[in-house]
A = this chain, B = another copy of it.
Amino acid sequence: MSIAASLENYFDRLWPICRSLTGDGVRESLKILQEIIPLEIHEVPSGSQAFDWVVPNEWNIRDAYIVTPQGKKIAAFAENNLHVVSYSIPVDQEMTWDELQPHIHTRPDLPEAIPYVTSYYKENWGFCITHQEYETLPREGKYRVVIDSSLAPGSLTYGDLILQGETNEEILCSTYVCHPSMANNELSGPLVTAFLYQYLAALPKRRYTYRFVFVPETIGAIVYLNRHGFYLKENLRAGYVLTCVGDAGAYTYKHSKDDSLPVNQVALHVLETSGEAYSHFPFEVGGSDERQYCSPGFNLPVGSLMRTMYHKFPQYHTSLDNKSVVSFAAMEETVLMYAKIFKALELNQCYRNTCPFGEPQLGKRGLYHSIGGLPIPPQRILQRLHLLSYADGKTDLFTIARKRGESILQYEDVVEELSAAGLLVID
């Protein structure tokens, strides 16, 4: 089966599950993802402290609906899990329209969409319906409202995996698993991340160690940082939040805070030299878990390579963000683009020329042409001399490649042959 087909297969299995910050929906989703990436699963008890936050009670839901005064069952959870506000407390009650109305959420600007609404940290309940349906509901008579949920001590569930490389320097891939049935945001994130793992695990060697993190957004990332943040502060070389990576739109890259770091510059360089359309923008505080990774206490080098990003596609955070929005071929391309960036990051070392006084004599090593004086030396020889000339142990390869207007990926073989000749080392 092609990667795209396999992506679609898993998409279809994960789609109907009702995920939230906590609960069995997350557990079930991670279990399916373990078929692709052998995640270790962690359960963090409700009430656990993580910096300024406390892990909330666990939420589970079995059923929910409203019965109209005419006896029509609407907003049925069984039909679409977006109908219930995430973290709604249990209700089973008759009430008037005026009592019900404050608990109904719609999107008047998108009258056919069921909005996605949550109330994690304030006990509340609610229903989300299309604005079209809302307009038809009678303002008189008694409604019956049922939410068969539980909000009680339990645990928050997340998964992670370390793919060891030659060094302990790390690259982080973080994605989230707390949204009910929506496609680009969020199902594309865990799917692309899982298949990216498969690609990297199959490589004959990796310089860096890769860390994969599947958490509920915000609280999950904060819990994760509470456990691993100070280690990452020492060891992380680059990280990316994978979200909105499912459609066929142009790439969008969001920088980490320090624009000049390799996490950003190398990603942009690979995008630039790939010929693909892309745009990019500096860090801003609206967004996903890079908000946590880049918080001032950690300020990790974490950016985010997306396709069409949150807030920029009209279906965002509604029932319209469904399978029709995403492309499995595009998801596969996104996996490969991430892999290319990782390759470039691995190449991007500060090499040191071991023969730094004058040029090394390449001729005696078979790395030079023996006849001199001819008009223009071959490009490969110029690349060797260029790299040796700038390889002072302090300048990264990305900077060196750009001086000749070349892609860092064009230096893979040059690095290898000069290293093999003992002329190039990494300190």
Q: Which residues of A contact B (CB under 8 A)?
A: 50-53, 85-86, 105, 115-122, 124, 218, 221-222, 225-226, 229, 257, 282, 284-286, 291-292, 294-299, 311, 316-317, 353, 355-361, 363-364, 370-377, 382, 385-386, 388-392, 403-404
A228 to chain B, nearest CB (A): 12
- Given A119-B372, A120-B372, A121-B364, A382-B286 contact (CB < 8 Å): yes
- Given A317-B373, A317-B375, A296-B122 contact (CB < 8 Å): no
9 A-B pairs with C-beta separation under 8 A: A52-B361, A117-B374, A221-B358, A226-B357, A285-B382, A285-B389, A286-B377, A286-B385, A297-B356
Q: Which of B225, B361, B372 contacts A358 (CB 8 A)?
A: B225
Docked CA distance A374–B317 (Å):
8
A264 to chain B, nearest CB (A): 15
Flag if A117 contacts B282 (CB, 8 Å): no
Among residues of B, the one whose C-beta sits closest to the C-beta of A372 is B118
A127 to chain B, nearest CB (A): 13
Contacts of A291 in B (CB 8 A): 359, 385, 389
Flag if A119 contacts B370 (CB, 8 Å): yes
Given A226-B358, A284-B386, 8 more contacts at CB 8 Å?
Answer: A52-B355, A119-B372, A121-B363, A222-B358, A291-B359, A291-B389, A296-B388, A311-B376
Flag if A229 contacts B357 (CB, 8 Å): yes
A2 to chain B, nearest CB (A): 34
Flag if A357 contacts B295 (CB, 8 Å): yes
Docked CA distance A275–B374 (Å):
35
Docked CA distance A191–B20 (Å):
66
Among residues of B, the one whose C-beta sits closest to the C-beta of A128 is B373
- Given A291-B385, A311-B376, A370-B122, A360-B52 contact (CB < 8 Å): yes
Flag if A370 contacts B296 (CB, 8 Å): no
Docked CA distance A373–B373 (Å):
69
Docked CA distance A282–B299 (Å):
35
- Stoichiometry (number of copies): 3
- Given A124-B370, A286-B382, A375-B295 contact (CB < 8 Å): no
- Given A291-B389, A375-B316, A358-B52 contact (CB < 8 Å): yes
- Given A371-B117, A376-B311, A359-B295 contact (CB < 8 Å): yes
A49 to chain B, nearest CB (A): 11
A227 to chain B, nearest CB (A): 12
Q: Which of B226, B296, B353, B390 contacts A389 (CB 8 A)?
A: B296
A18 to chain B, nearest CB (A): 15
Among residues of B, the one whose C-beta sits closest to the C-beta of A394 is B296
Contacts of A375 in B (CB 8 A): 311, 316-317
Contacts of A52 in B (CB 8 A): 355, 357-361
- Given A371-B117, A373-B116, A122-B363 contact (CB < 8 Å): yes
Flag if B358 contacts A295 (CB, 8 Å): yes
Flag if B371 contacts A119 (CB, 8 Å): yes
Q: Which of B119, B299, B317 contacts A392 (CB 8 A)?
A: B299
Flag if B285 contacts A361 (CB, 8 Å): no
Among residues of B, the one whose C-beta sits closest to the C-beta of A357 is B297
Docked CA distance A371–B53 (Å):
17
Docked CA distance A354–B364 (Å):
58
Docked CA distance A296–B388 (Å):
8
Among residues of B, the one whose C-beta sits closest to the C-beta of A358 is B222
Docked CA distance A105–B382 (Å):
23
Contacts of A385 in B (CB 8 A): 285-286, 291
Most chain B CB atoms below 10 A, which of A282, A296, A392:
A296
Docked CA distance A358–B294 (Å):
8
Contacts of A292 in B (CB 8 A): 358-359
Docked CA distance A117–B371 (Å):
7
Most chain B CB atoms below 10 A, which of A115, A363, A371:
A371
